[in-house]
Amino acid sequence: MAHSSGSHHPYPRSARVNEILREVISDVLVRIADVDERLGFLTVTGVDTTPDMRQAMVFFDSLSDVAHAALEEHRSQVQASVNAQTRLKRTPKLSFMADPAVASGSAVEEILRRHGNDDE
């Protein structure tokens, strides 16, 4: 039986892969945070995988130097979980950074807060 690609999925494969990776990485980080408190308050806001699936940038709501170091220490464990829980041909190499959209949003909120105070 012929299978038309994408006909039963409302968005592209890369978006599905990014969402699956976000969920798997979030779950494994919750488990790791039980033993490493440096990761206790991190929230994965998104994942952006390169088209060749070799690299994936994992974005967090914020990322202190301490939390970033902890993520680097646990990278192989996170990647092993991604490999075990997904059916990807290749597990992308994970990189970690603070989500620039969250930082921009915080900056805009601060500007609006300051501007709102000027009116009083």
DSSP assignment letter at 37: G
Domains of the chain: 13-118 (3.30.300.20)
Does residue 8 have a pLDDT over 60?
Answer: no
DSSP assignment letter at 99: -
Quickly state the pLDDT bin for 102 (edges 50, 70, 90): confident
Q: Of 73, 51, 49, which is closest to residue 59 (Cα–Cα)?
A: 49
Does residue 2 have a pLDDT over 70?
Answer: no
Q: Distance from first CA to last CA of the chain, Å, rounded?
A: 69
Summarize pLDDT for 58-75 with one digit per residue, the tens.
999 988 999 999 999 999
